[in-house]
Amino acid sequence: MSIQENLELGAFAREDKADITKDMDRVYELFPVLGERRHQSAGVLSGGEQQMLAIGRAMMSRPKLLMLDEPSMGLSPIMMQRIFTVIGELKEQGTTILLVEQNAQAALSLADHGYVIETGRIAFDGPGKDLLHDERVRKAYLGED
């Protein structure tokens, strides 16, 4: 399937054609590379571009809750930054985000509330900003002394 067909698939349950077009334009605005290559097969995309497409496809359904599992895995630092910028924008627009992420710094910077899990148990929880500045979390998970 092409990039555009993938995005259309994300909106399959919707019937509001004009708003679907607006939402697709928004995805292309957030991820210009997808717009430039909209007629290409999604199978030729890099890992970061595939993440963009997956997030864009999910956005097309106008979800109230977006669950993301390790969206930064295997991405270059630049691509990771772009993904987290978009996640932050979605959060600011009112989409609830459930994010599972090993990059504690990036995740806690965005989180309203965070849970730090250690060997399957919650080791710490609280507001993301508090956890980001918690000395125990900084030492154990952010590699700081």
Indicate the pLDDT class of residue 142, thresholds 50, 70 and 90.
Answer: low
Query: Is the model's pLDDT at 145 over the cut of 70?
Result: no
Who's near 18: CB < 8 A, 6+ residues apart?
none
Q: How far is CA 43 from CA 40, 60, 78, 131, in A?
A: 8, 19, 21, 38
Half-sphere exposure of 81 (CA within 13 A, CB side): 3
The C-alpha atoms of residue 116 and residue 108 are separated, in whole angstroms, by 10
The C-alpha atoms of residue 132 and residue 105 are separated, in whole angstroms, by 7
Q: Which domains does the chain show, CATH number per domain?
A: 3-102 (3.40.50.300)
Per-residue pLDDT of 28-84, as tens digits, reads 998 999 999 999 999 999 888 999 999 999 999 999 999 999 998 888 888 889 889
Predicted pLDDT of residue 39:
96
Predicted pLDDT of residue 102:
87
pTM, whole model, 2 decimals?
Answer: 0.82
Q: Do residues 108 and 128 make contact, with C-beta atoms less than 8 angstroms apart?
A: yes
Query: Is the model's pLDDT at 126 over the cut of 70?
Result: yes
Per-residue pLDDT of 82-106, as tens digits, reads 889 989 999 998 999 999 998 888 9
